[in-house]
A and B are shown apart, each in its own frame.
Chain A
Amino acid sequence: MSTPFLSVQNLSKRFKAPKGEDALTVFENVNLGIEKGEFVCIIGHSGCGKSTILNILAGLDEPSEGGVIMNGKEVSGPSLDRGIVFQNYSLLPWLSALKNVTFAVQARHKSWSKKQVHEHSMKYLEMVGLAGGAELRKPSQLSGGMRQRVSIARAFAIQPELLLLDEPFGALDALTRGSIQDELIRIWSGSDQTVFMITHDVDEAILLADRILLMTNGPYARVAESVQVEIPRPRERANIIHHSDYYDIRNHLVEFLATRSKALAGKQEDGGTSEPSIVRFGAHGVLSDPKDDRKPAVSRAK
């Protein structure tokens, strides 16, 4: 078994509790692999540790145990190869929307001229529908959704190998969300970027992902299941619901969030290496096999 592009090994995160209380173990023994070019979504209840995992993948936070290996190299700090859309946008409030993107592009492409940087940045701002004056405003003068779009443009514009998205469409209305989802898929399928995305939206996950990771509730959360989404691409919002797998997957996810995330929660007594069980749907319904060692199918319509 060759190591995948991104490999998370025995990852645990504990936060020291105030005053002698037991440390808070957010998650424990998280193991997963993500192939190059894969689009992976992770779903779990609020507070289970999704952002914490994402921050560790980004290199911003350190795990208490275990490690992350990307491209055969241990992740030991943040890098331009991993672009992030933060849950709280993290725009620099004293810079205009445009400058928030150009400084990132300039950091990525040090040799580019001002004009190149500007054009490249504008391309991505236009892509998220922020042009025609809005790009010159400061974040405080933009709506929540507009800020989120600036932060998306910033992450996309540096064209990182791995895109880490923390609920990137949370503050967007359905229409904008749809069009940016389409853009995300377009950019992703036109490149060999890998995407790791946190979402609370089950339908969004099925529409976008090759694979959906399901996390149990914390503390001692873990990635319990990995659901393959084998609905062929390109997926159309309107047609995807007619695919025979769609409702099977959707029901499985909703059922997980409603009951099993709780039932499976808690400390694993065996403490063994817990690879998520792989769940795939086909003509014969659910087929779950934890021993299944096969790589996820990375096929997509170009």
Chain B
Amino acid sequence: MLASLNARALLLSLVLLAVLLGLWEAASPKQQLAGELTEYELLMGGGEPKAAVPPPSAVFAKAWEELSDPFYDAGPNDKGIGIQIGYSLYRVLSGYFLAAAIAIPVGFLIGMSPLMYKALDPFIQVLRPISPLAWMPLALFVIQDSQASAIFVIFICSIWPMLINTAFGVAGVRKDWVNVARTHELGALKTAWIVILPAAAPTILTGMRISIGIAWLVIVAAEMLVGGTGIGYYVWNEWNNLDLTSVVFSILVIGVVGMLLDTAFAYCARLVQYQE
């Protein structure tokens, strides 16, 4: 029954996809198909005089072309999609793990100590709602490096969900389990390792999953601002070239990479999940 449900869901998804693509294709002006011929020019930044949303067939052709050679590098304004994604992932992951390295220990501290919780709460409440991009000018001024500034913006946007969830998870560890640690005279470090961390891990991972989602949202915007490399810059650059086929293609790529990141974290979350 379950298998057949999955099978039916898959079938329905495929039907919906086909219908949507069909409608999209039908709605696109026919003359755009000729765009295939000028693809090379488009890539060279030639630009299409009569720009319009391209049909899916054009996007597929573009995807095929880009994905068959994702890592080419033809100068600062023309790099393969793989290289652009690579830059973006590098920024996202370094900012993200830097944030995790700080958020998780500090979250532990806040979760374990009601004093620290009360003392740090006002800071968190004020800093958290700040749009990460609002930090960008300050970051650029202080750090004086666009690459590092982008990483900082990722850092600042991914730290909050991890910090708050870690504190919440640690503070919420069942008293019974803490008592088990106490009756076995486990030291602070052992208690953290054997009891608190595993008990709070599902909540912590939920925070990490939220953070990676936000980081991936923010990197596109950040790269549009700082420019140079990355998928966000790529989208903006193709828009400036009026190459809408590439824009649509890169939007899809952003979606797929985001999904893969989320899936990876969902998988990790399943590993630490436990049933009471």
> Quick check: B186 and A90 within 8 Å, CB to CB?
no
Among the 9-residue stretches B39-47, B174-182, B239-247, the one with 4 or more Cβ atoms under 8 Å from chain A is: B174-182
Question: Which B residues lie within 8 Å of A90 (CB)?
Answer: 176-177, 179-180
Mark each residue of chain B from 156 to 183: 1 if its CB lies under 8 Å from any CB of chain A, else 0: 0000000000000000000011011011
How many Å from the CB of A203 to the closest CB on chain B?
A: 29
Question: Which B residues lie within 8 Å of A83 (CB)?
Answer: 183
Question: Which B residues lie within 8 Å of A92 (CB)?
Answer: 177, 180, 194-195, 198-199
> Quick check: B176 and A86 within 8 Å, CB to CB?
yes
How many Å from the CB of A144 to the closest CB on chain B?
A: 13
| A80 vs B184: C-alpha distance when bound (angstroms) | 5
The majority secondary structure among interface residues of chain A is loop
| A138 vs B194: C-alpha distance when bound (angstroms) | 15
How many Å from the CB of B169 to the closest CB on chain A?
A: 13
| A108 vs B185: C-alpha distance when bound (angstroms) | 9
Question: Which B residues lie within 8 Å of A88 (CB)?
Answer: 176
State whether the Cβ of A266 lies closer than 8 Å to any Cβ in chain B. no
| A59 vs B185: C-alpha distance when bound (angstroms) | 11
List B261-275 residues whose CB lies under 8 Å from chain A: 272, 274-275
| A103 vs B191: C-alpha distance when bound (angstroms) | 11
Question: Which B residues lie within 8 Å of A86 (CB)?
Answer: 176, 179
- Beyond A86-B176, A92-B198, A94-B199, whether A80 also contacts B185 by CB under 8 A is yes
Question: Which B residues lie within 8 Å of A60 (CB)?
Answer: 179, 182-183
> Quick check: B275 and A58 within 8 Å, CB to CB?
no
The majority secondary structure among interface residues of chain B is helix
List B175-209 residues whose CB lies under 8 Å from chain A: 176-177, 179-180, 182-186, 190, 194-195, 198-199, 201
| A297 vs B274: C-alpha distance when bound (angstroms) | 48
> Quick check: A138 and B274 within 8 Å, CB to CB?
yes
Question: Which B residues lie within 8 Å of A78 (CB)?
Answer: 179, 182-183, 185
> Quick check: A94 and B274 within 8 Å, CB to CB?
yes
- Beyond A90-B176, A90-B177, A92-B177, whether A77 also contacts B182 by CB under 8 A is yes
Closest B residue by C-beta to A160: B183
| A92 vs B274: C-alpha distance when bound (angstroms) | 10
Question: Which A residues lie within 8 Å of B183 (CB)?
Answer: 58-60, 78-80, 82-84
Query: Which of B176, B190, B201, B275 is A138 in contact with, Cβ under 8 Å?
Result: B275
Closest A residue by C-beta to B276: A93
Query: Which of A94, A104, A140, A158 is B198 in contact with, Cβ under 8 Å?
Result: A94
| A77 vs B181: C-alpha distance when bound (angstroms) | 12
List A125-146 residues whose CB lies under 8 Å from chain B: 138, 140
> Quick check: B185 and A93 within 8 Å, CB to CB?
no
State whether the Cβ of A258 lies closer than 8 Å to any Cβ in chain B. no
Question: Which A residues lie within 8 Å of B201 (CB)?
Answer: 94
- Beyond A60-B182, A104-B184, A107-B186, whether A93 also contacts B274 by CB under 8 A is yes
How many Å from the CB of B192 to the closest CB on chain A?
A: 14
How many Å from the CB of B4 to the closest CB on chain A?
A: 27
Closest A residue by C-beta to B198: A94
How many Å from the CB of B92 to the closest CB on chain A?
A: 30
List A252-268 residues whose CB lies under 8 Å from chain B: none
| A90 vs B195: C-alpha distance when bound (angstroms) | 12
> Quick check: B194 and A103 within 8 Å, CB to CB?
yes
Mark each residue of chain A from 84 to 100: 1 if its CB lies under 8 Å from any CB of chain B, else 0: 10101010111100000
Query: Which of A93, A95, A107, A140 is B184 in contact with, Cβ under 8 Å?
Result: A107
| A140 vs B180: C-alpha distance when bound (angstroms) | 17
Question: Could you jot down 27 A-B contacts, CB within 8 Å?
Answer: A59-B183, A60-B179, A77-B182, A78-B182, A78-B183, A78-B185, A79-B185, A80-B184, A82-B183, A83-B183, A84-B183, A86-B176, A86-B179, A90-B179, A92-B177, A92-B198, A92-B199, A93-B274, A93-B275, A95-B198, A103-B184, A103-B194, A107-B184, A107-B186, A108-B184, A138-B274, A140-B275
Give me the interface of B with A, judged by CB distance under 8 Å.
176-177, 179-180, 182-186, 190, 194-195, 198-199, 201, 272, 274-276
Give me the interface of A with B, judged by CB distance under 8 Å.
58-60, 77-80, 82-84, 86, 88, 90, 92-95, 103-104, 107-108, 138, 140, 158
Q: Which 4 A-B pairs have the closest CB atoms?
A: A140-B275, A94-B274, A107-B184, A78-B183
For the complex with contacts A92-B195, A104-B184, 13 further pairs of A-B residues with Cβ separation under 8 Å are: A58-B183, A80-B184, A80-B185, A92-B177, A92-B199, A93-B276, A94-B272, A103-B184, A107-B184, A107-B185, A107-B190, A138-B275, A140-B274
